[in-house]
Amino acid sequence: MEAEVQSAAELAGWTGPASTGAGGQEVLHVTRDRYLEVVGALRDNGFAMCSDLCAVDYLRHLERPLPEGVAPERFEIVVNLLSLERHQRIRVRVQVPEGDPVVPTLFNLYPGTENMEREAFDLFGVRFAGHPDHTRILMPEDWEGHPLRKDYSVGRVPVQFKEAPGPR
């Protein structure tokens, strides 16, 4: 059976950069303009469910190792697709530049990404062009900034001890 498993890249006709994640998962590195096309091809070839979509802010690792031909950018959108028939997973990673953090929405391919894209926008500020309800989901509407960005401070609650010496 093992030998018959066709790689997802072949199914989608993707010949561009690919890598393997820990545990042998297949990863496709897709450019922004071919993002919808490749994900659409995967969906038409059995990847019926989008199990996860999230963003990563690589601010502190702008020079990270990536397969040849992929220019690293600050943000990455990571999409995990699942094929129910073939019991197979595939991950699609898209580089999103800081200056223009916009990617097309997957809503028309997988309506289940609606909440996930709203979350990625809310926490990272990556915009999804064409999303039907592009609002914050976890943070309040009037929140400033995007908390999961690496340049967003964690903040601390100062702890005051009774016997502590005063500020120097």
Smallest separation (angstroms) from another protein to the CB of 3: 19
Measured from the CB atom, the residue of 14 and 121 that comes closer to another protein is: 121
Is the CB of residue 49 less than 8 Å from the CB of residue 112? yes
The answer to whether residue 142 forms part of the interface with another protein (CB under 8 A) is yes
Site track 104-133 with another protein (rule: CB under 8 A), x = hit: ---xx-xxxxxxx--x-x-x-x------xx
The single residue among 6, 13, 51, 97 that binds another protein, judged by CB under 8 A, is 51
Interface residue with another protein, options 48, 66, 67, 72 (CB under 8 A): 48
Smaller CB separation from another protein, 31 or 80: 80
Quick one: which of 47, 46, 43, 41 has its CA closest to 16?
Answer: 41
137 binds another protein, rule: CB under 8 A: yes
Measured from the Cβ of residue 63, the count of other Cβ atoms closer than 10 Å reads: 7
The token pair that represents 133 in the structure block: 């309800």
- What Cα–Cα distance (Å) separates residue 54 from each residue in 25, 40, 67, 112? 17, 18, 20, 13
| 89 is an interface residue for another protein by CB under 8 A | yes
Give the dihedral sign, CA 22/35/33/44. positive
Residue of 2, 23, 69, 164 interacting with another protein (CB under 8 A): 23
DSSP 8-state code for residue 118: H
Cβ-count burial of 95 within 10 angstroms (0-12 exposed, 13-18 middle, 19+ buried)? Answer: buried
Is there binding between residue 138 and another protein (CB under 8 A)? yes
Which residues are near another protein by CB under 8 A?
Answer: 21-23, 25, 27, 48-52, 54, 56-57, 60-61, 64-65, 78, 80, 82, 84, 87, 89, 91, 107-108, 110-116, 119, 121, 123, 125, 132-148, 154
